[in-house]
Amino acid sequence: MHILTTISLDRGDTMKRWILFLIVIMLLSGVPVGEHFVSATENTIKIYPMDDAYVKSTEPDENYGSWYSLYVGTYWKDNANERAYLKFDLSSIPTNARIISATLHAYTYKGAYSVPVNISVYEVTDDSWTEGTITWNNKPLEGNLLDKDLIGTEGEHWSVWDVTDFVKNEFSGDKVVSFVLISDAEGLKTESIGYSSKETTYSGQEPYLKLVYEIPETPQEPVVKYPKRGISSIQYFYYLRYKEAIEKFDELYQKATESGADEETLKQALEYKKLAEKEYELAWQFGHPLKGHIQTFVHMRKAFLNIKEALEILGISNVTETPTQPTEVVRVLIDASHNQYYNDQKLMELMKKIKKLGWAVDANHQKPLTEEILSNYSILIITNPRDIIPKEEAQIIKAWVKEGGGLLITGDWYEYVEYVSLNRITEEFGIKFNDDELMDNEQNTGYQYFPLVGEFNFDHPTIMYLSESSQLYYNGDTLDVSGNAVWLIRGYETSYAEGENNEISKEKGSKPIVAAAVEVGNGRIVAYGSSKAISDDYYGRYIDSNWPFLKGVLLWLAGEI
């Protein structure tokens, strides 16, 4: 009980009341109130671009966001000046992190042609640009010079620029940081440096931001599998009640307007709604409602009370503030421990959409997946691994599924699919990943190996958010099913599949299966032949077209449908 002695008698009454109130709740909930301090830990992370593109002065309205390269300098053929823009999302770093260093890395596969040139990196404070729309005419202005890197004529080279101070500043703001690369010889020498973009087909050559940060010494919070007790559960109660109330507000406000409510009443209700939204934003600055941070609790409760007041002004008085036992939070783990190309950095939009379901989502960079790690999660997402999943680890994953876990496991096309590892997990239960690639010469997004898929098994609940007209972007392998496994998605009549030596593995008219599901013991598995389909690729078109399917999959894996 020594924490009581740490409360200063000089603090305001409001703070005393909050601290005492929280201590009482923790005591009643059986949560230890002793403080245990842990030392600061140093972490290193690579963050890949959310957007990258180059722009060209001789084609000022042309967009090059989907190119495999980022060109910087002056092109000899038409004397075009070229600049490269890169944007990174820093939100995956803990909000209380202290950044020690930040370096920008980019790979050039050929270097300079005849004379060495300096490539400089500049600040870009306007983050509104996107790789799908940026051109020379609408490019954001460059700011302060950050660093230079000399490119020689020796050939391939990794450029590294120190961008620490700018990244620190942006991390304390909107947590998005943009850069532009400009040649010091722009317009003076016909030297154009070609860097690999995030769309490169060569693994390991993508540009990235390398951050070294530490978590300051803080009181260690208790680790819980689900927020059933203590501060986090009550906090989560307010979060759920706030979400329910805020969804009611617009409808009730519209009804009040139509029924002739006076302007003062409507104005007052809107003011309380704005206060609620402000408190809600403040709450998230300290973490997810699941985490149990004291400041999150304070602001989340204020958010709820303000929206509750707004509803009462509109004539709704049955909004309860009595905390009841909340439903267990669905916790999702994205595996990034097997050198996946489609890791958490390329699944940012998926992670955002999962969080909008009110769920928690984390990424695992440890090796291997263990019983202890998996025991904290309801759903596991494994994208196509580039490192082999050992048999022992596969057995742990299968045992976790049988005990009630939900697994989404995704493949890739034959050049990259690690079908042996994937099948170690799924084949026993009737789902087999094939060493091939789905093709469609008619239903595609530009090439036969970027097919669209749209044949759905509407008898299965995972398909509940799709319609007969839905079409999903796809790039990956096919599946075979047997036993209790059922197909979820097939290719069209015009689709087929080829193997590594261009041999036909699935004939036209066979409607190859690309997604399947099976119930295993108390758990469930969904296999999908494309990891790209759930990623941020192609300006988000893959995840956007696939989200209605993935939403149904996630809800089914969580046992909610």
Each residue's pLDDT tens digit, 479-528:
999 999 999 999 999 999 999 888 999 999 999 999 999 999 999 999 99
Please report which confidence band the pLDDT of residue 287 belongs to, taking 50, 70 and 90 as the band edges.
low
Cβ burial of 546 (10 Å; 0-12, 13-18, 19+) is: buried
- Ordered by start, the domain boundaries in the chain are 1-39, 43-215, 225-328, 331-557
Predicted confidence at residue 550, as pLDDT, reads: 96
Rounded Cα gap, residues 542 and 535, in angstroms: 6
Predicted confidence at residue 92, as pLDDT, reads: 82
Cβ burial of 368 (10 Å; 0-12, 13-18, 19+) is: middle
Q: 116 with 152: CB under 8 angstroms?
A: yes
pLDDT higher at 37 or 298: 298
Q: What letter would DSSP give residue 329? A: P
Tell how many helices (H) and how many strands (E) occur in the chain: 10, 28
Judged by DSSP in three states, 298 sits in helix
Output the six-digit token pair for 464. 């509940």
pTM over 0.75: no
Q: 383 with 542: CB under 8 angstroms?
A: no
Instruction: State which fold the 331-557 domain adopts.
Output: Rossmann fold (3.40.50)
Rounded Cα gap, residues 201 and 331, in angstroms: 33
pLDDT in tens, 327-379: 568 899 999 999 999 998 899 999 999 998 889 999 988 778 999 999 999 99
Rounded Cα gap, residues 272 and 275, in angstroms: 5
Q: Could you give the maximum distance between any two Cα atoms of the chain, in Å?
A: 79
Predicted confidence at residue 237, as pLDDT, reads: 65
pLDDT in tens, 182-211: 999 898 888 888 899 998 877 788 999 999
Predicted confidence at residue 27, as pLDDT, reads: 42
Q: Give the CATH architecture of domain 43-215.
A: Sandwich (2.60)
Output the six-digit token pair for 103. 């370096």
**Which of 68-72, 93-97, 423-427 has the least mean pLDDT?**
93-97
pLDDT higher at 167 or 240: 167
pLDDT in tens, 392-439: 999 999 999 999 999 999 999 988 888 899 999 999 999 999 999 999
Q: 107 with 193: CB under 8 angstroms?
A: no
Predicted confidence at residue 94, as pLDDT, reads: 85
Cβ burial of 297 (10 Å; 0-12, 13-18, 19+) is: buried
pLDDT tops 80 at residue 471: yes
Cβ burial of 272 (10 Å; 0-12, 13-18, 19+) is: buried
Output the six-digit token pair for 82. 């070229």
Length of the chain: 561
